[in-house]
Amino acid sequence: MRFTVALNYIFGSILVIILIFADYARKYNTDARRRGLFLRLLALIFTAMLADFIFCFFNGAGGSETERTALHTVLMVYYASLILAFYHFFIFVDFTVFEDSKRTRIIHTITWLIWVLTLLILFLNINGGFYFYLDEENRFCHGDYYFIFFITGCLPAAFMVYELISARGRFAKRQLVMTLAFVVFIAAGSTVNRFRGTATLIWPCLTAGMLYAYFFIVHHESKIDILTGLGNRHSFDEFIDKLERSKRIKEPYSIVMIDMDRFKKINDTLGHAEGDNALKDMAGIIKACTGGDHDFAARYGGDEFVLAAKPEDIDRIMEQIQREMEALNESRGRPYQLRISYGHDVYTPGSGKSIHDFLGHIDALMYRNKNDRRRAEDQKGEIH
Q: State CA 51 to chain mean position distance.
A: 28
294 against 338, higher pLDDT: 338
**CA 366 to each of CA 256, 259, 287, 341, 372: distance values in angstroms, whole numbers, following the listed order:** 9, 7, 20, 6, 10
With beta carbons less than 8 A apart as the criterion, state whether 164 and 180 touch.
yes
Q: Nearest 5°: phi and psi at 260?
A: -80, 130
Amino acid at 354: S
Q: Name the burial class of residue 361, with classes exposed (0-12), middle (13-18) and buried (19+) by CB atoms within 10 angstroms of its CB.
A: middle
**CA 143 to each of CA 48, 114, 183, 197, 322: distance values in angstroms, whole numbers, following the listed order:** 20, 21, 26, 11, 63
Domain spanning 2-221: which superfamily? Rhodopsin 7-helix transmembrane proteins (1.20.1070.10)
Question: Which part of the chain is CATH 3.30.70.270?
Answer: 233-379
With beta carbons less than 8 A apart as the criterion, state whether 269 and 263 touch.
no
Confidence (pLDDT) at 199? 47
Rounded Cα–Cα distance for residues 321 and 300 (Å): 17
Tell me the HSE value of 67 on the side-chain side, using a 13 A CA sphere: 15
Closest by CA position to 91, among listed 149, 148, 37, 150: 37
- CA dihedral defined by 171, 172, 173, 176, rounded to 10 degrees? -30
Tell me the HSE value of 326 on the side-chain side, using a 13 A CA sphere: 5
* SS3 (DSSP) at 133: strand
Q: Is the pLDDT of residue 237 over 90?
A: no
pLDDT band at 176 (very low <50, low <70, confident <90, very high): low
What DSSP string runs through 334-374? -SS---EEEEEEEE-TTSS--HHHHHHHHHHHHHHHHHHHH
List, for residues 10-45, the tens digit of each pLDDT value.
Answer: 888 899 999 999 988 887 667 778 888 999 999 999
Closest by CA position to 92, among listed 104, 81, 110: 104
**For the chain, where are the alpha helices, taking DSSP H only?**
2-6, 12-25, 32-58, 65-98, 101-128, 146-166, 173-196, 202-221, 233-245, 263-270, 272-289, 314-332, 355-379
* SS3 (DSSP) at 202: helix
Confidence (pLDDT) at 204? 81
Confidence (pLDDT) at 164? 64
Q: Which helix (H) or strand (E) holds 140?
A: strand 140-142
pTM listed for this prediction: 0.69
Weakest-pLDDT range from 5-9, 41-45, 114-118, 209-213: 5-9
The CATH architecture assigned to 233-379 reads 2-Layer Sandwich (3.30)
Confidence (pLDDT) at 188? 66
Weakest-pLDDT range from 67-76, 242-251, 281-290: 242-251
Q: Nearest 5°: phi and psi at 347?
A: -110, 130
* SS3 (DSSP) at 138: coil
pLDDT band at 181 (very low <50, low <70, confident <90, very high): low
pLDDT band at 380 (very low <50, low <70, confident <90, very high): low
Q: Is the pLDDT of residue 132 over 80?
A: yes
Mean pLDDT across the chain, nearest whole number? 82
**CA 265 to each of CA 92, 280, 299: distance values in angstroms, whole numbers, following the listed order:** 39, 17, 19
Question: Which part of the chain is CATH 1.20.1070.10?
Answer: 2-221
Confidence (pLDDT) at 384? 39
Q: Is the pLDDT of residue 200 over 70?
A: no
Rounded Cα–Cα distance for residues 186 and 192 (Å): 10
Rounded Cα–Cα distance for residues 293 and 309 (Å): 9
Rounded Cα–Cα distance for residues 59 and 75 (Å): 10
**CA 161 to each of CA 84, 104, 166, 369: distance values in angstroms, whole numbers, following the listed order:** 18, 17, 9, 47
**CA 160 to each of CA 147, 256, 357: distance values in angstroms, whole numbers, following the listed order:** 20, 35, 43
Q: Give percent above pLDDT 70 in the chain.
A: 83
With beta carbons less than 8 A apart as the criterion, state whether 29 and 35 touch.
no
